[in-house]
Each structure stands twice: as C-alpha cells, then as structure tokens.
Amino acid sequence: MGIYLQWILGCAGAYLLGSIPFGFLVAKARGVDIRKVGSGNIGATNVFRCVSKPLGIFTFLLDLGKGYAGCTVLPWLTIAASPHATAAHSLLPFQVVCGFLTVAGHNWPVFLGFKGGKGIATSAGLLLGLAPAACGVALLAWIVTFLASRYVSVASIAAAAALGIAAWFPFFRGDSGWWFPIMLDVLAALAIGRHRSNIRRLREGTESRFSFKRRLG
C-alpha cells in the first residue's frame, strides 16, 4: 500500500467513522427520532434530555470514542496494513487530518443527509488522543462554565475558546510546531460556529438551561 492510498483510505475511513450517528441510532432503538424532539440535534445532550440520562451518557461516550479512534486507532491500522509504513515524523499530520475528518463526519454525516451534531464530544475525543493536556483545560472550562450558567451551549463555547488559547502555550503545544495550535484553533472555531443557533437563542433569551430532570413527552 503506497502512501497516497494510505491517505485516501485513512481519510475516507475517518469520515465514515465520524458519520455513524450514534445519537440517532441509540434514540431510534427506543422508538424516538431524535431529530424531531427537543433541539432536533443528534448529539448526546438532546438524547440525555429527551430519551434518558443513561442513554445520553452512553451516546456521549460513543461520540467521544469515535473521535479518539479516528485520530489514533484508525491511522495506526491504516499504516500497519502497509509493508512500507509511513515514517514516524509524518504520523502526527496524518492523525490530525483523520481526526478532523472524523469530526466533519459527525457534523455532516453522509448517512443523515449531511445534517449532524455540533461535534463537541467527538472533538473532545480527538483532543484526548492528540493533546490530552489541552483537553483537560477545555474540560475544566466546560465544567466551571456549566456549573455557573447551566447552559450546555455556553459551556461548550467556553471550552472551545479555552482550547484555542491553551493551544499556543508551549506546555500544551509540545514540539509539534506552529501548525498544530493553528489546527486546534480551527477546531475551536468550528465548534463555536456550530453553535450559531444557540448564540442567537442566548441573545433572544430563549435558550434552555440544562435540567437533570428528564423531560417527558
């Protein structure tokens, strides 16, 4: 397997992995079309609110897992399948691109007409695999903001912003070069951009605060 075929297979596999709509499938198994209830989003938060708490957590872990696998397991398997493995110095760019395509697959899944989630859990999986320290900063920002506001959207935006800033500190960047924090900033900007509707509702005062009580109906 040549290097170009490695990239083609790795990128295609990453996008298809990201396109698996776990939230939709989990809710469908309970007889709920998650696109027609609550916010209409296929992500873990909507499953948590409209289906059940355990299934919402399960969906989050599945989406997190595919983000992690998309930038670690999948690139490794693609390279290992080749008798002429890609040099170690080129592995990180391959992982980053595969990770981004996994997030893109979640946000614009081919299996659901390119209408997907916001990519927060999947992005967290990517960060966990490639930049665990930066993932920790983003998680801390999410928790603090969520506890203060009870808005999942605000917490997610704050986490993305914290990631974008932390990516430029040498401790989080490591020796990967300047291109890596730039890519993380792009990831953060994408996550914030996917919350445009939430930002509009926040301005209008119609955004729902998170409640640990299950909504019925």
Q: Is 67's pLDDT higher than 50?
A: yes
Residue 68 to residue 50: CA distance in whole angstroms: 26
Q: How confident is the model at residue 78 (pLDDT cuts 50, 70, 90)?
A: confident
pLDDT digits (tens, 9 = 90+) for 128-170: 998 888 889 999 999 999 999 999 999 999 999 999 898 888 7
Residue 74 to residue 86: CA distance in whole angstroms: 14
Residue 214 to residue 195: CA distance in whole angstroms: 23
Q: What is the mean pLDDT of the chain?
A: 88
Residue 80 to residue 78: CA distance in whole angstroms: 6
Q: Which residue has the tokens 């704050």?
A: 158
User: Is the backbone of residue 150 left (phi > 0), alpha (psi -120 to 50) or beta?
Assistant: left
pLDDT of residue 137: 92
pLDDT of residue 212: 60
Whether 94 and 86 have beta carbons less than 8 Å apart is answered as yes
Any idea where the domains of the chain sit in the sequence? 3-204
Nearest to 56 by CA among 212, 216, 217: 212
Q: Which residue has the tokens 């986490």?
A: 159
The whole-number average pLDDT for the span 4-31 is 94
